[in-house]
Amino acid sequence: MLEALPLVLVLLLVLGAEFVNGWTDAPNAIATVVSTRVLSPYRAVLMAAVLNVVGVLVTGTAVAATIGKDIIRPEGVGLEVVAAATLAIIIWSTFVWRYGLPTSKTHELVAGLTGAGLATAGPSVLLWDGWKKVLIGLGFSTFLGFFIALVVMVALYRVFHRTRRATVRGVFSRLQILSAAFVAFSHGSNDGQKFMGVFALALVLGKKLPSFHVDLWVVLLCGVTMGLGTAVGGWRIMRTMGFRLTKLEPVNGFAAESSAGLAITLASRLGIPLSTTHTINTAIMGVGATRRLSAVRWGVTRSIVTAWVLTFPVCGALAALLALVFKLVF
C-alpha cells in the first residue's frame, strides 16, 4: 500500500491542476458572451462546464500524446517531475488569478515539465518534436487568433454596415451563444487533453501502464474534473477579458469567439498544444483593433502580456526547485 502512495499523490496533484485549469480558463470561453450580456454568468459557466467535458470526450488524444511523451523523454524521468510540474501550475495560476490576469496552462505545463526534467535528468531529457509543436502553437495563439478575428470583424462590418444597429445586435445575440459554445468545446478539445497526457505519463512512470496510451477512464476522470473546475467559474479573469480589455458588442463577441474557436480546433486536429488563453485574448484584441487601435486598453494588455512572459521562467524555476525536493521525498 505504501509503495503506491507516491503515485496516488502525484495523480491527485494532476487532477488538482486539471481542476485549476477549468477554474481559471473558464473565462476564456465565456467572458465575451457575459460582457455583452447575452448570457448570465451562471448560464454561461454551466454551458462552458458541459461543453468542456464534451470537447475532451469526442476529439481524440493527439494533444495528450504530444504532452505526455513528446516534451520530455518518459524513460528519463520519475514521478517527482510530474508532481513538481503540476504543483507549480497550481501555485502560479492561483497567484496570478488573484490579480485577475489570465495565464496559459499550456506554457505553465510545458515550462513545469521542462524545468523539473532539467533539474533531475539534464538537457538530454528534452525532445525537439514536442517543443516544435509548442512553438507552432505559440504562433497559432498569438498571430492566428488576432488576424482571423480582425479579418472576420472587417468582413462583418462590410456586410452589415447599412443594417440597423438594433437588428445587428438581435441577430448576433443569438449567434454569440453558438460561438461561445464553440470556444468552450474547442477549449476542452485542446486544454482538456493536456492533463490527460500528464495523467497517463504518471501511470507509465508508476509502472501501471506498460506503454503510453490514454484509457477511456482517464478521459472521463480528467474531463469531469475540468468541468467541475469550470463550474466554479472565475469572475476576476472574466472581468479583465470581457470588460477591461476592450468594449464589446455581440457582433464583436461573435467574431472573437468564432476566430478563437477555429484556431484552437485546427491546432487540436494537428496535435498542437496551444494556449486557449492567448488565442481568445488576441482575438479580442484583433476585434477591438478594427475600430481603432486606441479601442484596445493597452495598459491592461501590457499586464496580461507581462503575466504571459513571466509564466515560462517562473513555472520552470519553481518546478525545478520542487522536483529536487520531491526527488528526496520519493
7-29 pLDDT tens trace = 999 999 999 999 988 887 766 66
Q: What is the rounded average pLDDT for all residues in the chain?
A: 84
**C-alpha cell belonging to residue 322:** 520542487
Over range 130-141, report the average pLDDT.
86
Whether 3 contacts 76, CB under 8 Å: no
In angstroms, the Cα distances linking 15 to 52, 85, 129, 245 are: 15, 12, 26, 31
Q: Confidence class of residue 55 from pLDDT cuts 50, 70 and 90?
A: confident
Domain boundaries defined on the chain? 2-329
Tens of pLDDT along 150-184?
999 999 989 998 888 889 888 988 898 899 899 88
Q: Confidence class of residue 301 from pLDDT cuts 50, 70 and 90?
A: low
Over range 293-322, report the average pLDDT.
77
In angstroms, the Cα distances linking 16 to 19, 89, 254 are: 5, 9, 32
Nearest to 94 by CA among 84, 105, 83: 105
Nearest to 262 by CA among 287, 247, 280, 277: 280
pLDDT higher for 296 or 111?
A: 111
Which residue stretches of the chain are H helix? Answer: 5-35, 41-58, 62-69, 79-97, 105-121, 128-139, 145-160, 165-205, 216-232, 235-239, 250-269, 276-289, 298-329
**C-alpha cell belonging to residue 317:** 524555476
Of the ranges 83-87, 124-128, 182-186, 241-245, which one carries the lowest mean pLDDT score?
A: 241-245
Tens of pLDDT along 227-278?
888 777 655 555 555 455 456 778 888 998 899 999 999 888 888 888 887 8
- Residue environment code for 243-271, b if the CB has 16+ CB neighbours within 10 A, otherwise e: bbbbebbbbbbbbbbbbbbbbbbebbeeb
pLDDT above 90 for 123 = yes
Per the listing, cell 487540436 goes with 268
**pTM as predicted:** 0.85
pLDDT higher for 246 or 144?
A: 144
**C-alpha cell belonging to residue 272:** 498542437
Sequential DSSP letters for 26-39: HHHHHHHHHHTTSS
